[in-house]
Structure 1
Amino acid sequence: MADEESWALEADKQETVTAKIQNLNIDSAAAGEPKDGANNAESKEDDDNAEKELNAEQNSLMRKLIHDKLVQNTQTQEVQQRDPNSPLYSVKKFEELNLTEELLLGIYAMGFSKPSKIQETALPLLLANPPENMIAQSQSGTGKTAAFVLTMLSRVKVDLPHPQCLCLSPTYELALQTGKVLEEMGKNMKGLQVAYSVRNNKVRRGEKISAHVVIGTPGTTQDWINNRAFDPSLVSVFVLDEADVMIATQGFQEQSIRVQRKLSKTCQMLLFSATYDEAVMNFAQKVVPRPNIIQLRRDEETLDNIKQFYSVCSSRDKKFEALTNIYGVLSVGQAIIFCATRRTAKWLSQQMCEGGFVVALLSGELDVTQRAMILRRFKEAKERVLVTTNVCSRGIDVEQVTLVVNFDMPLDMNGQADCETYLHRIGRTGRFGKSGIAINFISQERDRDMAVLKDIEKHFGIKIESLDTESYEDMDKKIGDK
């Protein structure tokens, strides 16, 4: 009976997703099926269907919403210690960290049975005495939030009625998520109080905050400090969460620096993030004095484990026909199909749904929460096919994706080959060292598409092989299951 109820619930969810596909707000002209040909309504310049990518703060939130469970970190971590002569320790059990019984109970209640990869290395450095500063990078879902929350809680003295730990996040939603982790982990610490310096949570001048931990956004936190709600010089741990967003986004950088400058020189300063570019890393090292640094070793641009093909199609309908033919030959775990516009993505989703495929649609019309919900369902294999625009070209790791299809070739704003987007698109397959297949559909009437393909070949120094999707013999030979 339970299985039947579970199946019924999933069926209801799928119907909801399908209904959303049908009801996307696209104008009536776009909703129709345009004539085949080079100048049909698939142009990236179509204002009604232009895709708006998420900004840095929204992407940060979406990553956290998607990764509600720990994921395996596959990249190598490089550790640069403040004191290179100091031995580097790592731990395999939380008991090795000399934590209080209350914190250990909180950790285990949250489902952490042992430290994650970043926690193994970071926690001994974070919990060292005297405290040491840190800049740390780790993928979303690998336990970085739990690591810095544990550090804050381990420094709190509940008998002191003033803020001792301060954590800044880029957005209201991220601040509340961090607070949720802290409250859960510290639920056994009697008397622990948390205050949220977020929008609409104002304090009157002269009002004092007695909470032990303050979590909030830079602007409101600065207002609290200006109103003398708490003394920042008494803060012993300062955390900058999603530090790349905080530092790289205009406004956040200045506000964060103003807050940081009011802290004492003995305050432990921690910068955590999923991503860092070189400029941000250099700036972070200037802001955080003498830090320990944990950074992911950059993966080189590699397409070695992804088989790439192109197929020439005379029309949009022929592209769909080619897609169904591919499924007739290849056993696909999960697939991501990239389209240039919302219109094309919606049309293709409808065609595939009518053809019996279990499809999810992801486009720029959806807000962050809706996108995260769709991506989480896809990661859980509730839908086997994800039709999307460029909003999904980066940062989403789904181990079961074995096929990526460029229904439309990636172009930059000038209509030229967008090689970086191509790399990120086809990089959605071949994850975690596994092999994958990428197939590019080339419009027969568009010389531009073939020119784009040639530019991509030249950029990466590769040869993309042709695939005759009307010949089962050719497909079976090149992509068939061996």
Structure 2
Amino acid sequence: MFKDSWTPSVDLQEAPAPSTQFDLPNKGDQVRGRRNITEDVNGNLICNLMPDKLEAGDWRGQADKVNLAEESLLNKMIRHALVTNRNQVEVLQADPTSPLYSVKTFEDLRLTPELLKGVYNMGFNRPSKIQECALPMMLAQPPQNLIAQAQSGTGKTAAFSLAMLSHVNPANKWTQCLCISPTYELALQIGQVIEQMGKFCPDVKVEYAIRGNRLLRGVKLQAHIVIGTPGTVLDWCVKYKFIDPKKITLFVLDEADVMIATQGHQDQSLRIYRQLTKDCQMLLFSATFEDSVWRFAERVVPDPNIIKLKREEETVDNIKQFYVDCKNKEDKFMALCDLYGCLTIAQAMIFCHTRKMASWLSEQLSKEGHQVAMLSGLMTVEQRAAVIERFRNGKEKVLVTTNVCSRGIDVEQVSLVVNFDLPVDFSGNADNETYLHRIGRTGRFGKQGFAVSMVDSIHGMDIINQIESHFNRKIRKLDTRNLEEMESMLA
């Protein structure tokens, strides 16, 4: 881990092997109540929320909000390999008359032997879809600007890390490549990729412009690559002048959608951009291409090539969808127990709206003898990753979670997803995107999956109708007290 006593530069030849152990902030101090994480007699991890005060009937409180930066970090930490992405890549070139190049092997990129060795040492056998199109543009001469849509797990971090390492001239003892990321944890993740990929490039040095890394005043950095967060990078360029921004020839802005959703980061990023020369190559990456992201991208990336993902319709054909009519949370719990008794379930994920409900449900399921793990926004990202890893390894059969776990987690053995609370937006209408992400945790890799939603009010039934209308797919009613009907419908 990186402490205040860091030396200004990291020699890539001596860089330690990447680790996912970070000193992440303890978020328990930001909420009312105490967090108790323990293990039961079987070694099962249990996280219990013990609020200072619980009002009677206060089970429909504020939803556990999803932090985009934390979600991105969690996905990076729990993914050990590239994800399979069925989406097709659409390329829009700045110069439509220019031939479009793509590569099928890393040898086609004519990398140095040291970099090629580093790529294969990381376990990459062939370029991913986005790497096939993006890397030729990133490495082109003269340099080309790029705006690319890419989620975690597509290989985009490795792609722009490779571009930075290829771009560096080790003989020039100043910063040539600058990369900014929304949080220091995400910046560390990028740095780990660069360190591992540049393992056989002894002359290339990297520095971290993040909190806790303090340099001596008046020092001019000799690190070739600097990765950091917008505020610290801006200080290093303008206030302390550790970096000469006019000498930066490659600028990478990662997680643009997360960046502009974080207070102050958009303005800081723009101020950094204005310090750079017009000839500086600009690479911008974002998981989503909403209007706000486009407006931001257009301000910092002139004359770009654009890589977009053609979104295929997410299929739920192999997921059987049902709803159960209930009266209250106790009735929903009984229906859940009936359902669990009927199905042969490998593993199940159960989604709740609030931390309070997730905590209550976890306790009830544990009393029934189920091996239960729980995830909520009260836990640090590192703790969440550890719980997910245990769930993946089958040490817990049931994962009770809020929306902090609604996307990005692929566990092949999940055969049942339960919406204990229906997904709704701030207006109380159906949150169709979250519904799709939730039920998409089952039926992975072409297997049969089941998704069951608990309905305990007229408004809840209206939510089901909205979801049916949006996806143009019937959600069938299930009577969990009728064993014969359940067996026929769930067969």
Following superposition, the deviation at residue 14 of structure 1 comes to 7.7
- Indicate if the aligned counterparts of 2:64 and 2:403 stay in contact, CA closer than 8 A: no
Following superposition, the deviation at residue 230 of structure 1 comes to 2.1
Report the counterpart of residue 390 of structure 1 in structure 2: 403
2:377 maps to a residue whose letter is: G
Following superposition, the deviation at residue 309 of structure 1 comes to 1.3
Following superposition, the deviation at residue 95 of structure 1 comes to 1.4
1:121 maps to a residue whose letter is: C
Unmatched 5+ stretches in structure 2: 1-37
Matches within 5 A, 1:220-235: 220-226=232-238, 227-235=240-248
Report the counterpart of residue 489 of structure 2 in structure 1: 478
Report the counterpart of residue 204 of structure 2 in structure 1: 192
Correspondence for 1:24 among 45, 49, 55: 49
- Indicate if the aligned counterparts of 1:51 and 1:364 stay in contact, CA closer than 8 A: no
Distance (whole Å) between structure 1 residues aligned to residue 93 and residue 484 of structure 2: 57
Report the counterpart of residue 474 of structure 2 in structure 1: 463
2:60 maps to a residue whose letter is: K
2:59 maps to a residue whose letter is: S
Return closer, same or farther for 1:17/1:394 CA change in 2, 3 Å cut-off: farther
What's the CA shift string for 1:117-155, capped at 9, x where partnerless?
221221122111112111112221221111101000001
- Indicate if the aligned counterparts of 2:64 and 2:354 stay in contact, CA closer than 8 A: no
Correspondence for 1:322 among 335, 349, 362: 335
Matches within 5 A, 1:243-392: 243-300=256-313, 303-392=316-405
- Between 128-137 and 56-65, the greater mean CA deviation after superposition: 56-65
Report the counterpart of residue 59 of structure 2 in structure 1: 43
What's the CA shift string for 1:273-292, capped at 9, x where partnerless?
33332331243134211212
Report the counterpart of residue 102 of structure 1 in structure 2: 114
2:103 maps to a residue whose letter is: V
- Between 333-342 and 169-178, the greater mean CA deviation after superposition: 333-342
Return closer, same or farther for 1:141/1:413 CA change in 2, 3 Å cut-off: closer
Q: Report the 3-state secondary structure (helix = DSSP H, G, I; strand = E; otherwise coil) of the residue aligned with 1:24.
A: strand
Matches within 5 A, 1:1-16: none
1:180 maps to a residue whose letter is: Q
Correspondence for 1:78 among 79, 82, 90: 90
Aligned-residue Cα RMSD (Å) equals 2.6
Return closer, same or farther for 1:17/1:246 CA change in 2, 3 Å cut-off: farther
> Residue 213 in 1 paired to residue 225 in 2?
yes
Return closer, same or farther for 1:230/1:16 CA change in 2, 3 Å cut-off: farther
Following superposition, the deviation at residue 82 of structure 1 comes to 2.0
What's the CA shift string for 1:435-480, capped at 9, x where partnerless?
532212223xx33333433343344444321111111211111112
Q: Report the 3-state secondary structure (helix = DSSP H, G, I; strand = E; otherwise coil) of the residue aligned with 1:233.
A: helix
- Between 331-340 and 223-232, the greater mean CA deviation after superposition: 331-340
Distance (whole Å) between structure 2 residues aligned to residue 340 and residue 219 of structure 1: 34
Distance (whole Å) between structure 2 residues aligned to residue 452 and residue 331 of structure 1: 28
Distance (whole Å) between structure 2 residues aligned to residue 59 and residue 174 of structure 1: 11
> Residue 123 in 1 paired to residue 139 in 2?
no
1:88 maps to a residue whose letter is: L
Distance (whole Å) between structure 1 residues aligned to residue 58 and residue 476 of structure 2: 25
Distance (whole Å) between structure 2 residues aligned to residue 332 and residue 85 of structure 1: 55
1:183 maps to a residue whose letter is: E
Report the counterpart of residue 154 of structure 1 in structure 2: 166
Unmatched 5+ stretches in structure 1: 1-11, 31-39
Distance (whole Å) between structure 2 residues aligned to residue 216 and residue 405 of structure 1: 40
Return closer, same or farther for 1:432/1:82 CA change in 2, 3 Å cut-off: farther
Return closer, same or farther for 1:120/1:458 CA change in 2, 3 Å cut-off: closer
Matches within 5 A, 1:159-170: 159-170=171-182
Matches within 5 A, 1:49-88: 50-88=62-100
2:57 maps to a residue whose letter is: A
Report the counterpart of residue 448 of structure 1 in structure 2: 459
Report the counterpart of residue 36 of structure 1 in structure 2: none
Following superposition, the deviation at residue 206 of structure 1 comes to 2.6
What's the CA shift string for 1:86-110, capped at 9, x where partnerless?
2222222211111111111211222
Distance (whole Å) between structure 2 residues aligned to residue 68 and residue 105 of structure 1: 19
- Between 127-136 and 342-351, the greater mean CA deviation after superposition: 342-351
Distance (whole Å) between structure 2 residues aligned to residue 378 and residue 268 of structure 1: 43
Give the count of matched residue pairs.
453
TM-score, normalisation: structure 1: 0.86
- Indicate if the aligned counterparts of 1:51 and 1:363 stay in contact, CA closer than 8 A: no
2:364 maps to a residue whose letter is: Q
Distance (whole Å) between structure 2 residues aligned to residue 131 and residue 65 of structure 1: 32
Return closer, same or farther for 1:17/1:408 CA change in 2, 3 Å cut-off: farther
Distance (whole Å) between structure 2 residues aligned to residue 281 and residue 399 of structure 1: 35
- Indicate if the aligned counterparts of 2:338 and 2:480 stay in contact, CA closer than 8 A: yes
Return closer, same or farther for 1:76/1:433 CA change in 2, 3 Å cut-off: farther
Q: Report the 3-state secondary structure (helix = DSSP H, G, I; strand = E; otherwise coil) of the residue aligned with 1:140.
A: coil
Return closer, same or farther for 1:211/1:385 CA change in 2, 3 Å cut-off: same
- Indicate if the aligned counterparts of 2:40 and 2:46 stay in contact, CA closer than 8 A: no
- Indicate if the aligned counterparts of 1:17 and 1:360 stay in contact, CA closer than 8 A: no
TM-score, normalisation: structure 2: 0.84
Correspondence for 1:132 among 132, 135, 144: 144
1:24 maps to a residue whose letter is: L
- Indicate if the aligned counterparts of 1:42 and 1:340 stay in contact, CA closer than 8 A: no
Identity %: 55
- Indicate if the aligned counterparts of 1:156 and 1:212 stay in contact, CA closer than 8 A: yes
- Indicate if the aligned counterparts of 1:42 and 1:344 stay in contact, CA closer than 8 A: no
Following superposition, the deviation at residue 249 of structure 1 comes to 3.0
Correspondence for 1:426 among 439, 443, 449: 439
- Indicate if the aligned counterparts of 1:73 and 1:139 stay in contact, CA closer than 8 A: no
